[in-house]
Amino acid sequence: MACSRWRRRQRALAAALAWLLLAALALPALAGVMTKEALARRFPSPLMVGEKDAALPIWPLLRQNATAIELVGYAFESVDFAPVPGFSGTPVNLLVAIDPKGSFLDVQVLSHHEPVFLEGLGEAPMFRFVEQYRGLSLTQSVAIDTAPRGGPRNEGSLVHIDGVAKATASVRIMNQSVLASALKVARARLGFAGAADPDQIARLRPDVFERIGFDDMRREGMVGHVILSNRQVEAAFAGSAGEGLDPEALAKPDEPASEFYMALASVPSIGRNLLTPASWTRLSDRLEPRDHALLVAYGGRYGVLGGDFVAGTAPDRLLLKQNGLAIEMRDLDLDLKSAEPALRGKSLRVFRIIGQSGLDLAQPLDLALVVKRAKGIIYPERINREFSSALRLPARFYDAPVANDKGWVAIWRQRWAELALLAAGLAVLAVALARQRALVANPRRFAWFRQGYLLFTLLFIGWYAQGQLSIVNLTGALQALRDGRGLEFFLYDPMTVSLWAFVFVSLLVWGRGTFCGWLCPFGALQEFIGKLAQRLRLPQLTIRRHWDARLKLLKYLVLASILGSVFVSAELADKLVEAEPFKTAITLNFVRSWPFVLYAGALLAASAVVYKSFCRYLCPFGAGLAILGRIRLLDWLPRRRECGKPCQTCRHRCEYEAIRPDGGIRYEDCFQCMDCVVIHQSDDLCAPLILEKKRARVVVIHAATPS
């Protein structure tokens, strides 16, 4: 009867969780909250906040310059453009301001629900982190260092900023929010529309060099060639105001007007074959890492440089484009010599394309000669025509970009060693649980194995790798689904994802006890304290069975309260998740304000006299796993028909009170300590085996010897 009532309660709790999930999907998503007045307080005089853009949720920032009003930049909220969920499931909302060139004027935190910064590390490290973006540019690649080094450090096109220890995943999510939202605004308003992310483009392979002939380079598209006759140029202006304005073109239509070759001389297999060794060395010395150099050899009466061209500036008659977007280039003012006979006798100019420009070697590159004509004297009408040629670099000269390397993929790569060690540890545990009879064959060896594995869980998974699964994972998922967002934010914490993958499988096979009994760092810490207390012979409190059953229901009440708060108030949810001491004891190593340390310490002290009391009675995450564990496929702990009838050895030895009087296992309360399996397999501990052993004993009776 009691068992059927308990199952009905669990079904009701599962149904309640399903309704909470459906309710989450029906709630509206977040949007920006700033008003013009609020922005004016954050950007005071001499700045002025203009009217909100009609098409985008952005605000122009203006400044009075004499009689003119000039645009200083745009301000916007990250949640309107890149609502990347944080670990609470709710995005961090950042106020971002960028200037017309794509540099950051300011980044401020408007709101957040990141657990590690709420009554944990505090918000100060978060504020210091976002302050580092001031003065950085969207054309730079941003790398986040785990060890602070004193602020941003520029290394050419790469800039390093300080991360926050214990909050690595959170700051990466914030970085993604800042850059993704700013790039969207830059593409829409600053002409960044076709620009590639500098971290998502093909990279030159500087160690690759081939001897290639000039004709072969032209056939492969590595060298572009344009020859324009006067007739072609005139035909391009036909029907416009520029028609007939060049007398020489009209008088000599078949003579050349302009001719030029172009090539990416920064590619060793191009530059070293086209230039003399001294010129190649001179060019290489002038280029920064990731920079490119465009070599142009030209002739004809209409050159690629105008009469008022100034050395070291951008060319006025050449236009470089990729995917329809103009890419800036500047003259390097180098006197170079060509080793290629086809280029001798022509003028040579080399133009630098900075690495931050986003030029992608895997995409075609177009160079256009702009022919300009003007009609009129006082207010001349200017008419331009473009004549272009395309370049394409063969794939053997570059490395293709790796998708999403700027986001969560990078952190997975950085933590490959930790993930490999975790995978090995999980494999060991899976094999051990699958071969439980061999595992417990020697009780002493099993005890050493279990204590050693729990030490691995506490020291490596918990304190070192920060892999403590938590109720925050569940509330974060619910909040993300509530706001109509995906769960990609979990990918920024590879340890959490890897552990969850294993836990989901283990729930199917063995139930909730695999995590709670073997993989929970706080649970391992409690167990060590409990065992130490028993060795020190501290008095142990015995909870009566009927009270134990009632107290175990508390954790389901805590779980329901926390999950329900998600749909009431994010602030309330932030407070209720502190029922878990995991953040204090594991994530922050007790470096926290005293009320939280006192709470976590009290729970650990309680576990010294009531074995793993928090896990058994209060843990909301354990309650959630107990409900999810109902999908378990196997009743895998071995039982005999004598278990419970009459033998009660395992039941009385079970410190979790997870064995019913009839000998059955309550898997929702079982922590897989496997003490009952040790007893079950032992001829010296299991009462039915001891009895069988006695019955099988043969007593030899000898006849009495006559005296």
pLDDT-based confidence at residue 195 (cuts at 50, 70, 90): very low
Higher pLDDT among residues 526 and 647, named by residue: 526
Domain membership flag for residue 552: yes
Out of 38-52, 88-102, 146-160, least confident range: 146-160
User: Contact, 118 vs 576, CB < 8 A?
Assistant: no
Rounded distance between C-alpha atoms, residue 476 and residue 560, angstroms: 15
- Amino acid identity of residue 676, one-letter, is C
Residue 319: Cβ within 10 Å count:
18
**Are 242 and 355 within one domain?**
yes
Rounded distance between C-alpha atoms, residue 8 and residue 554, angstroms: 17
**Are 327 and 252 within one domain?**
yes
For 460, phi then psi, to 5°, come to: -85, -60
CA dihedral 520→525→526→531, nearest 10 degrees, is 120
pLDDT-based confidence at residue 1 (cuts at 50, 70, 90): very low
**Are 431 and 564 within one domain?**
yes
Rounded distance between C-alpha atoms, residue 615 and residue 626, angstroms: 11
Chain mean pLDDT for the chain: 83
Q: Is the pLDDT of residue 515 over 70?
A: yes
Beta bridge partners of 98: 74, 104
Q: Is the pLDDT of residue 422 over 90?
A: yes
pLDDT-based confidence at residue 492 (cuts at 50, 70, 90): confident
**Are 103 and 236 within one domain?**
no
Q: What is the pLDDT of residue 271?
A: 92
pLDDT tens, residue by residue, 532-560: 999 999 988 888 888 988 899 999 999 99
174: tokens are 């914030």
Domain endpoint, select from 399, 425, 451: 399
Rounded distance between C-alpha atoms, residue 327 and residue 361, angstroms: 13
Rounded distance between C-alpha atoms, residue 692 and residue 616, angstroms: 36
Per DSSP, the residues of 438-452 read HHTSSHHHHHHHHHH
Q: Once rounded to an integer, what is the mean pLDDT over residues 293-302? A: 89
pLDDT-based confidence at residue 28 (cuts at 50, 70, 90): very low
Q: What is the pLDDT of residue 434?
A: 87
Domain membership flag for residue 431: yes
Triad 446, 449, 450: Cα angle to 5°:
85
**Are 49 and 129 within one domain?**
yes
**Are 178 and 209 within one domain?**
no
Domain endpoint, select from 126, 159, 189: 189
State how far the alpha carbon of 289 is from the alpha carbons of 203, 205, 353, 678, in Å.
Answer: 10, 12, 11, 63
**Are 385 and 429 within one domain?**
no
Signed CA dihedral, 389, 390, 393, 399: sign only: positive
pLDDT-based confidence at residue 54 (cuts at 50, 70, 90): confident
**Are 369 and 278 within one domain?**
yes
Q: How many domains does the chain contain in total?
A: 3
Domain membership flag for residue 599: yes
pLDDT-based confidence at residue 26 (cuts at 50, 70, 90): very low
Q: Is the pLDDT of residue 325 over 70?
A: no
Higher pLDDT among residues 192 and 257, named by residue: 257
**Are 389 and 422 within one domain?**
no
Q: Is the pLDDT of residue 95 over 90?
A: yes
pLDDT-based confidence at residue 25 (cuts at 50, 70, 90): very low
Domain membership flag for residue 557: yes
Rounded distance between C-alpha atoms, residue 319 and residue 370, angstroms: 7
Domain membership flag for residue 143: yes
Residues 6+ apart with CB under 8 A from 352: 286, 287, 291, 292, 293, 329, 330, 331, 332
Rounded distance between C-alpha atoms, residue 6 and residue 12, angstroms: 10
**Are 351 and 446 within one domain?**
no
420: tokens are 């490999």
Q: What is the pLDDT of residue 323?
A: 73
User: Contact, 625 vs 649, CB < 8 A?
Assistant: no
3-class SS of residue 382? strand
Rounded distance between C-alpha atoms, residue 483 and residue 33, angstroms: 16
pLDDT tens, residue by residue, 209-252: 999 999 999 999 999 998 888 888 888 888 888 888 888 888 88
Q: What is the pLDDT of residue 16?
A: 52
15: tokens are 């149904």
Domain membership flag for residue 167: yes
| Length, in residues, of the chain | 707
Q: What is the pLDDT of residue 5?
A: 56
Domain membership flag for residue 6: no
Q: Left, alpha or beta for 358 (phi > 0: left; psi -120 to 50: alpha)?
A: left
Q: What is the pLDDT of residue 704?
A: 61
Q: Once rounded to an integer, what is the mean pLDDT over residues 180-192? A: 77
State how far the alpha carbon of 627 is from the alpha carbons of 11, 221, 512, 623, 632, in Å.
Answer: 9, 63, 8, 6, 10
Provide the percentage of residues in the chain whose pLDDT is more than 90.
Answer: 26
User: By residue range, what is the domain housing residue 391?
Assistant: 203-399
State how far the alpha carbon of 519 is from the alpha carbons of 168, 512, 628, in Å.
Answer: 22, 11, 17
- Single out the residue of 257, 238, 343 nearest to residue 304, CA to CA: 257
Higher pLDDT among residues 198 and 230, named by residue: 230
Rounded distance between C-alpha atoms, residue 192 and residue 184, angstroms: 9
**Are 421 and 484 within one domain?**
yes
Q: What is the pLDDT of residue 169?
A: 78
Domain endpoint, select from 368, 399, 430: 399
User: Contact, 83 vs 61, CB < 8 A?
Assistant: no
Q: What spatial distance separates the first Cα and last Cα of the chain, rounded to whole Å? A: 69
Q: If you search the block for the tokens 């086209």, which residue do you land on?
A: 274
Higher pLDDT among residues 151 and 258, named by residue: 258
Q: Once rounded to an integer, what is the mean pLDDT over residues 54-58? A: 85
**Are 321 and 231 within one domain?**
yes
Domain membership flag for residue 93: yes
Q: What is the pLDDT of residue 156?
A: 52
pLDDT tens, residue by residue, 608-664: 999 899 999 999 999 999 888 888 877 777 888 888 788 878 888 888 888 888 888
